[in-house]
Structure 1
Amino acid sequence: MRHQCRLPQLGRPADQRKAMLRGLTTQLIREGRVTTTRARAKALRDKAEKMISLAKEGSLASRRRAIGYIYDKQLVHALFDKAKERYGDRKGGYTRIVRTVSRRGDNAQMSIIELV
């Protein structure tokens, strides 16, 4: 039974799912927008907003947690430098999910997730 288990499985084992979300988070922070399936975008939103919240906090412990999650160390330093001025007045909601057309091969619902 999976009662009250809110973590989306995404059709992957736990290690592959965590690696995929780390890669998508890194790509989203680097490029600003990612096109992916709607289920992946919703799972990615939680991780990306957590990293931005860590960057807004700005402490050494937060920086070390972000470096442990995001693949690119220089990207983490850039995120921590810009997060205060970009998201300082926001209390949350740093990402936006926009629905797009279904994928041609398997008719999966696609979305664009982008930083606000």
Structure 2
Amino acid sequence: MRHGKKFNHLSRKKGHRVALMKNMSNALVKHKRINTTLAKAKALRVFLEPLITKAKKNTTHSRRTVFGYLQDKSSIEELFGPIAEKVAARPGGYLRIIKTGFRKGDAAETALIEFVDYNDVYSNEGKQGSSGRRRRRRGGGNKNAAAVKGKNEEE
């Protein structure tokens, strides 16, 4: 039974799991994207997104709180500096997980986890001529084709 199992334990004891999340968080902050298994990426997102939210408010208390989790001064400087500036206007959802297939050795499902604001491929900043809003086609389509179709059915 899974009474009280609120998160994925990743088949590790608490100390190992905390060390894993700390190391993966530091690597993600340093490199902006990492490849890992899908389960670890989902667990990392749950672990790191609240810390990024705390980093948006640059106070001594929030710095000490985040340092308690990451324990790496260079990661803290990066998180409270450039990363916090880029995500300042974003209300959440700082990380993106992209499935990348299955690992050859053990067929584990792999994924790429990255900061949303650091990928130029998906951002609108790289596109030229973009008005900033998305255009979607509604069901209306071509009205002339519908009129011709109606005339053909009458004949």
Tell me the residue number matched to 1:79. 79
Contact 2:30–2:78 (CA under 8 A) maintained in structure 1: no
Deviation readout 1:13-72 (Å, 9 max, x if unpaired): 111011101100110011001101100000000112112111102111110011121132
Tell me the residue number matched to 2:18. 18
Tell me the residue number matched to 1:115. 115
| Residue correspondences, number | 116
Task: List structure 1 runs of 4+ shifted beyond 6 angstroms.
Answer: none
Normalising by structure 2, we get a TM-score of 0.71
Tell me the residue number matched to 1:51. 51
Contact 1:23–1:71 (CA under 8 A) maintained in structure 2: no
1:57-72 equivalences under 5 Å are 57-72=57-72
Higher relative contact order (CA 8 A, sep 6+): 1
Contact 2:52–2:84 (CA under 8 A) maintained in structure 1: no
SS in 1 for 2:53: helix
Q: Offset at 1:4?
A: 4.0
Q: For residues 71 and 109 of structure 1, do their structure 2 counterparts lie closer, same or farther at Cα, with a shift above 3 Å needed?
A: same
Q: Which has the higher helix share?
A: 1
- Determine the C-alpha separation between the residues in 1 that align with 2:4 and 2:75: 35
- Determine the C-alpha separation between the residues in 2 that align with 1:107 and 1:27: 24
Unmatched segments (≥5 aa) in structure 1:
none
Tell me the residue number matched to 2:90. 90
Normalising by structure 1, we get a TM-score of 0.93
What's the % identity of the aligned pairs? 39
Unmatched segments (≥5 aa) in structure 2:
117-155
